[in-house]
Amino acid sequence: MGAVVDMDAALFAGLCRLGDSTLVLGHRVSEWCGHAPVLEEDIALANTALDLIGQTQMWLGLAGEMEGKARNADALAFHRDVWEFRNLLLVERPNGDFGHTLMRQFLFDAWHQPMLTGLAQSRDARVAEIAAKAGKEVAYHLERSADLVIRLGDGSDESHARMQVALDTLWPYTGEMMTPDATDTALADAGIMPDLVGLQATWDGLVRDVLAEATLAIPDGGFMHKGGKQGQHSEHLGHMLATMQFLPRAYPDATW
Partner 1 sequence: MSAEWPLWEIFIRGQHGLNHRHVGSLHAPDAELAMRHARDVYTRRNEGVSIWVVPSSAITASSPSEKGPMFEPSQDKVYRHPSFFDIPDEIGHM
Binding site for partner 1 (CB under 8 A): 37-40, 43-44, 47, 144, 147
On whether the CB atoms of residues 167 and 218 are closer than 8 A, the answer is: yes
User: Least distance from C-beta 73 to partner 1, angstroms?
Assistant: 22
- Give the DSSP letter of residue 123: S
Length of the chain in terms of residues written? 256
User: Least distance from C-beta 93 to partner 1, angstroms?
Assistant: 24
249, 207, 237: which is closest to 28 by C-alpha? Answer: 237
User: Least distance from C-beta 128 to partner 1, angstroms?
Assistant: 24
Which one, 11 or 102, has the nearer CB to partner 1?
Answer: 102
Distance CA 215, CA 96 (A): 21
Which one, 163 or 244, has the nearer CB to partner 1?
Answer: 163
Distance CA 46, CA 30 (A): 6
Taking 3-state DSSP, the helix, strand and coil percentages for the chain, each rounded to the nearest 5, stand at 70, 0, 30
Which one, 86 or 162, has the nearer CB to partner 1?
Answer: 162
User: Least distance from C-beta 112 to partner 1, angstroms?
Assistant: 19
User: Least distance from C-beta 129 to partner 1, angstroms?
Assistant: 20
- Helix (H) / strand (E) element for 57: namely helix 39-67
Which one, 46 or 212, has the nearer CB to partner 1?
Answer: 46
The CA R_g of the chain, rounded to the nearest whole Å, is: 18
Which one, 39 or 254, has the nearer CB to partner 1?
Answer: 39
- Give the DSSP letter of residue 71: -
- Give the DSSP letter of residue 83: G
User: Least distance from C-beta 97 to partner 1, angstroms?
Assistant: 13
